[in-house]
Amino acid sequence: MKQSFRRPLLAVALTLGFLAPSAQALTFVLNDVSAGGMSAQQLAAFQTAANFWSGKFSDPVTVYLDIGFNNLGPNILGSTGSSYVSTTYDNIHGALAADATSALDATAMTHMQSGPALKFWATQGDGSSRFDNDGSLNNSTLGLTTANAKAMGFNIGTSTALPDASIVFANAYASDFVYTRAGGVPADKIDFITVAEHEIGHALGFTSGVDFIDYCMAPNLECGGGVNRFEDDWWYTPLDMFRYSAAGVADVRIGGSPYFSVDGGVTNIAAFSTGSEHGNGWQASHFGPGQINLMRPFVGDGEFYDASNRDLAAFDAIGWNVAAVPEPSTWAMLAAGLGLVGWSSRRRQTAQSA
């Protein structure tokens, strides 16, 4: 399926002025922008999804979301467009160190790369790959969703008028969604709460710059040309700092067999998807389809679930303070065979000033 997101062309530089506590835990402000408005049942279901994340994270952060139904492409149930900001890897390293609260955070910090720039295997502008350690902007600067930036403690001025993200659901599937889990989800229905939790997860920072590169590898003049076209701007995100293909091998290439790891690639916590255009057919801003995680790229009819321990570990690593994240030795690593007719969660990236 062809995706239609585009990488933001503008990013606002972050400051390291930390937020004054505005709440005791993660809070969402929801703004219904649907033509005609969402039904009371739809709004209640989305609030349930927001409440799930509020119950998992203790960060004193307010996240502003536009929500609604609109026309989307075939087989697309939900789409999230997030506002992005950018800052240096040094700043992110410092913010994560200051915000570290869990054993997982301690492990991640011990194994994060040193120095002002990241080193990784990357796809080049001509489709080749190389070990990129030249300290260019793509090594020294990362892009963050504004919600993720706030979780790290950066001072970001979003509001209802300037939201952190816009989450749109397909009105073509409105009658196929079930908006309550009471009594279970019928076999011929899609659980709206699961989809909403998933889309909120993208807004909170479960994103990968590999998707930006994957998109730009198609004939696309707005991405420029040449083998070095990805060197002089930011492309990757905090989640990409934990993308490995082997012990000690940081890997942000399209395709391959990347996985999420917080100990320098020694422990494979969960496989990542590798790109919808030139990878495994699923956007890289997801876990792979081989395990039941909230941030996998699809959900089957009659299925419903919340974030797994693997999902929560990823959010903990990128700066969210999770109430209880299992120790590395207890992470469930078993893959489940799926074979489900599912959905593709396409994200459309947008940029706004903050």
Structural contact between residues 329 and 107, judged by C-beta atoms closer than 8 angstroms = no
Residue 1 maps to a domain: no
**Domain housing 328:** 12-347
Residue 354 maps to a domain: no
Ranges of residues in the chain with a pLDDT under 70 are: 1-24, 221, 324-354
CA torsion 246→251→254→258, rounded to 10°? Answer: 40
Residue 353 maps to a domain: no
Q: What is the pLDDT of residue 324?
A: 66
Report how far residue 247's alpha carbon sits from residue 263's, in angstroms, rounded to the nearest whole number: 8
In 186-297, where do the E strands start and end? 190-191, 243-246, 249-252, 259-260, 270-271
Cβ contacts of 20 within 8 Å, gap of 6 or more: none
In single-letter form, the type of residue at position 152 comes to M
> pTM of the entire structure?
0.87
Report how far residue 65's alpha carbon sits from residue 161's, in angstroms, rounded to the nearest whole number: 10
Cβ contacts of 300 within 8 Å, gap of 6 or more: 338, 340, 341, 342
| CA dist 22 → 25, 135, 153, 160, 251 (Å) | 9, 37, 12, 15, 37
Residue 3 maps to a domain: no
Q: How many CB atoms lie within 10 A of CB 37?
A: 12
273 DSSP assignment: P
Q: What is the domain count for the chain?
A: 1
202: helix, coil or strand?
A: helix
Structural contact between residues 265 and 108, judged by C-beta atoms closer than 8 angstroms = no
Query: The tokens 């990241």 sit on which residue?
Result: 118
Residue 100 maps to a domain: yes
User: Residue 14's closest CA among 150, 169, 121?
Assistant: 150
Residue 184 maps to a domain: yes
Residue 226 maps to a domain: yes
Q: What is the tally of helices (H) and strands (E) in the chain?
A: 8, 16
Residue 151 maps to a domain: yes
Query: How do strand 120-123 and strand 249-252 relate by DSSP bridges?
Result: parallel
